[in-house]
Structure 1
């Protein structure tokens, strides 16, 4: 079995694993924003994951010096270790369910919220179960404050998600009224001004702010805007439509008929602005999203993330049982005498194999019976769908490589350096803010809540690392 002996290369390997695990979720968000069906994306992702994970597990398991208590993959396949193999396969099933919840939860809440929330829930569940199974995991004085920090991080994440949706709804309603070009000629100035004022007052009363106070007194009459200014405002409204979770089109349900008549009628004869390059952010907003759900309900996204966090949390104890059922820790005597547990690479092999079978079985059925009244697909349509296939395959390769590097670095560095990998959700937050501008214009309150979520998550990881290091040193 291949093992790195020095801590320096182990830290470098773990940093690379952190980059891979924190970057692959970009594919899920990209595919959803470009209108690709979720089953197509996950089929490509799971196929690439299995095709990369199996060779990594086989090569790492059968390379290097032979160790008696760590046999190779082919040798362990002939041993009487059915129970631990089943545990490793069950871990693959929960990995598949957690990854699917990550795909759907990311469409509902965004990258900046999804992964820190989900991993915080998974660590709370997994570490708690591990601590009960093996008291050597760490001292309760450090473990349970860390778990408390993860629970607080989920609360901050939920509040940040709600605040972001409120800000997006306010901006969408306000821009929809302000984009009524020519409304004063059809319905009169006072009525147009009162509509703008009513939107601002409604938002201020619901959020407790005084944003509509500036409209009191004699309002400034709206002015007509030029064609270039109208197109710019309409593009802004399209982006807000995407953020609020509805398919974007040139016409808006909130814009009255009189305003539409006074606008340039040629603008409604096409679905997107002319001379728009194929892969610009503006063109992307006109595509129907792959997961077409009502994103204005924050509770739906939180429930999906919580269920996925429980699935990821159950993965850790199952993997722990498969790889740590030694005579000193095998309280239930699940293995015969003299039969070692699975090595991390062999357990990774069985986990990836189960992940591939279950992912393809579930998503092939979802082609014909999609979730949440989605559009049906077929095998032939999936074969022809090359939009986003490369990025989905790259995501699967990155995830498989990241997990293999995590096991490789963890074996060499131990608990004291392996905790670096748990910081990868913060990299996902950075990608969500930089690449997708998810919290742009959401207000200071949402930004503070997002920062509080990340801060409490880092504190929880630090406490767990301290608990494990103290246990190892003792």
Structure 2
């Protein structure tokens, strides 16, 4: 079994995880903006996310000698009866991360990629890092760690202000759009359009794409009212004109779920509550990650199959047959699952060496996601000076928080 034994290696894994975990949300957001149903995307994502855990376990988990103190992955996998308390913690971690990821799929549509990732990650750090600090036996330097947590909390507050400010900017753009008469606001026109859509077949097997009415479709410039309307027409989750609090509630729920998965994994691999019998080695990180992703797969598939027939947020109804035939974008969804699986694995490997509280520095992943969101999606294009100021302040706090959390790293003492 391969173990990271120095702080330099742990920080290297954190940096790799930061890039990976900041990239996969962008891939899923692209698919939703192109009109692919989130249920279809997540079913594909779940498959490769689990396969990544199997790949990591059969490679890094099998490297080196198999000793009683450090058993390999397959050795522990064959002894589930000895490790069931730790396995249950790992399974619980997989459940909450799945609920958080499903929620963020809708949060990206309602709140935007940048703000969703900032707020969810900040809540994850504020709650989860505090729990991990005490579970890790306070191996991280509190005088460095908790100022970093405070920076994340400030970033979360700034994120909610960015969302509110940007929503106001978008509403102003729509109300001033030349495409609407003085007596018909953008929201009223959009509502009428969505009501017409509801009269059409909601089963994606029966629904047909709308024709452009023989008019040449010009590509709208990012940040304009026409761009917002065109995006709303294409995307699978209709959100334009929705209540601001709905998006913030979804993101808050996701952040709370995210805050619990790392502490659960910490308990699975370090047994701070002494649930295993004396003399039994702890569940190794690779075995724990296998069970973690196994429960994530089961819950993710069950939840999204249910959502095929009972969709949320106005998403069209679908079926398993329609999902099997929906190949457009499948490759990207599968790639996103693999990238996410590897990113989480690297985070847990680093946390086992340097402490899971310090490993939470990868929650600066919104820095990567925001870069993609601004460059690829044109988020905050043509926004007000107030929005730009808040956005810059939010990202600055994330840079500070990431640096501080990494600086709090300390090597875990043998248990």
TM-score (norm 1): 0.73
State the shift of 1:459 in Å: 2.5
State the shift of 1:62 in Å: 1.4
The structure with more radius of gyration: 1
Any unmatched runs of 5+ in structure 1? 181-194, 200-239, 250-267
Q: Equivalents in 1 of 2:412, 2:354: separation in Å?
A: 15
Deviates more, 1:121-130 or 1:143-152: 143-152
In the superposition, relative to structure 1, how do residues 276 and 295 fare at CA in structure 2: closer, same or farther (>3 Å)?
closer
| Pairing 1:86–2:88 present | yes
In the alignment, which of 296, 299, 307 is matched to residue 253 of structure 2? 307
State the shift of 1:23 in Å: 0.6
Q: Partner residue of 1:208?
A: none
Q: Equivalents in 2 of 1:36, 1:392: separation in Å?
A: 10
- 1:201-216 matches, within 5 Å, as none
Deviates more, 1:358-367 or 1:132-141: 132-141
Q: Equivalents in 2 of 1:128, 1:4: separation in Å?
A: 23
**Contact 1:88 / 1:350 at 8 angstroms: preserved in 2?**
yes
Q: Partner residue of 1:52?
A: 52
State the shift of 1:311 in Å: 0.6
**Contact 2:49 / 2:340 at 8 angstroms: preserved in 1?**
yes
Q: Equivalents in 2 of 1:132, 1:414: separation in Å?
A: 10
Report SS of the residue matched to 1:372: coil
Q: Partner residue of 1:434?
A: 375
State the shift of 1:284 in Å: 6.7
Any unmatched runs of 5+ in structure 2? 194-209
How many residues are aligned here? 390
Q: Partner residue of 1:291?
A: 237
- 1:390-429 matches, within 5 Å, as 390-409=331-350, 418=359, 421-429=362-370
Q: Partner residue of 1:319?
A: 265
In the superposition, relative to structure 1, how do residues 12 and 132 fare at CA in structure 2: closer, same or farther (>3 Å)?
closer
State the shift of 1:470 in Å: 9.9
Q: Partner residue of 2:296?
A: 355
**Contact 1:245 / 1:294 at 8 angstroms: preserved in 2?**
no
Residue by residue over 1:23-42, the C-alpha shift from the partner in whole angstroms, topping out at 9 and shown as x without a partner, is 10112211221111111111
**Contact 1:423 / 1:458 at 8 angstroms: preserved in 2?**
yes
State the shift of 1:366 in Å: 0.7
| Pairing 1:171–2:173 present | yes
In the alignment, which of 100, 107, 110 is matched to residue 109 of structure 2? 107
Report SS of the residue matched to 1:337: coil
**Contact 1:247 / 1:286 at 8 angstroms: preserved in 2?**
no
Q: Equivalents in 1 of 2:317, 2:372: separation in Å?
A: 31
Residue by residue over 1:257-298, the C-alpha shift from the partner in whole angstroms, topping out at 9 and shown as x without a partner, is xxxxxxxxxxx9934743779xx9979737442112355422
Q: Equivalents in 2 of 1:91, 1:379: separation in Å?
A: 27
**Contact 2:125 / 2:360 at 8 angstroms: preserved in 1?**
no
**Contact 1:245 / 1:293 at 8 angstroms: preserved in 2?**
no
**Contact 1:57 / 1:404 at 8 angstroms: preserved in 2?**
no
Q: Equivalents in 2 of 1:48, 1:156: separation in Å?
A: 34
In the superposition, relative to structure 1, how do residues 289 and 354 fare at CA in structure 2: closer, same or farther (>3 Å)?
same
Q: Partner residue of 1:96?
A: 98
Q: Name the Cα RMSD after superposition.
A: 3.5
**Contact 2:136 / 2:355 at 8 angstroms: preserved in 1?**
no
Q: Equivalents in 2 of 1:301, 1:129: separation in Å?
A: 26
Q: Partner residue of 1:69?
A: 69
Q: Partner residue of 2:36?
A: 36
| Pairing 1:364–2:297 present | no
| Pairing 1:274–2:220 present | no
Q: Equivalents in 2 of 1:344, 1:91: separation in Å?
A: 13
Q: Equivalents in 2 of 1:129, 1:8: separation in Å?
A: 24
